[in-house]
Amino acid sequence: MAPQPGFSDDIEVKNRIRRLLTTFFPERECFTMVRPLLKEGDLQNLDKMDMMKLRPEFYEQVMSLRKKILEKMKPKTLNGKNLSGDMYIGLMTSYVKAINEGTVPNIEDAWTYLCREQAEKAVEETLTTYDKLVNENLMKRIPTTLDDLRTQHRLVVQSALDVYKEKLISDEVNEEAVKELRKKMKEKFSKLKAFNDKESIVYPL
């Protein structure tokens, strides 16, 4: 992408765009593709068309381009942490929100927003994991002794909290969130204990 010769304002604007493109995209590659559809009317509604109705050669090219992108792309990172698709969308959302509000996007503010959003999702996923582990490891042991139930429940709680810490993108663990998680799991254990007591009466140990 060589700069155009000349010194006019119009040429300088074009060359500035070229410099920006080469700076932000040092690795570039062109990939030509055929028209996805032959009829002009269909092209106007391309976003609503079924992929199977597109030209086979276009579909093959899309799959080839997708493969090439996935092979070469590197994970997006922020503050040394890899971003998942959901996290990247959340980051872009915070940028767009800042721009729409007439402010300059701030990386630190975006990072704080991202951490808070991921922490909230981590809480939901942790409780889902807790319920799953209870069904897999505790329910099948009922009826059992209270000591056994408590021991197994502690293992489940620890496993669930490990999931919470793994889901966080910040090294700082929200102790309030952990406290709330323990409270909710304790409430669930009370119901589990009551169920075990009921089953123990029906089926004496």
Mean pLDDT, rounded, for 82-105: 79
Choose among 3, 40, 41, 35: nearest CA to 19.
Answer: 3
The torsion angles phi and psi of 47, rounded to 5 degrees, stand at -70, -15
Judge whether residue 42 has pLDDT over 70.
Answer: yes
From 134, 114, 119, 132, select the one nearest 164 (Cα to Cα): 119
Alpha helix segments (H runs only) across the chain: 9-24, 40-43, 56-72, 85-100, 107-133, 146-167, 175-202
| pLDDT tens per residue, range 157-175 | 999 988 888 877 766 667 7
Q: Is the pLDDT of residue 88 over 60?
A: yes
pLDDT at site 157? 92
Q: How do residues 100-109 score in pLDDT, each as one tens digit?
A: 888 777 767 7
Query: Where does the pLDDT of residue 202 fall: very low under 50, low under 70, confident under 90, or very high at 90 and above?
Result: low
Higher pLDDT: 13 or 65? It is 65
CB 164 within 8 A of CB 123: yes
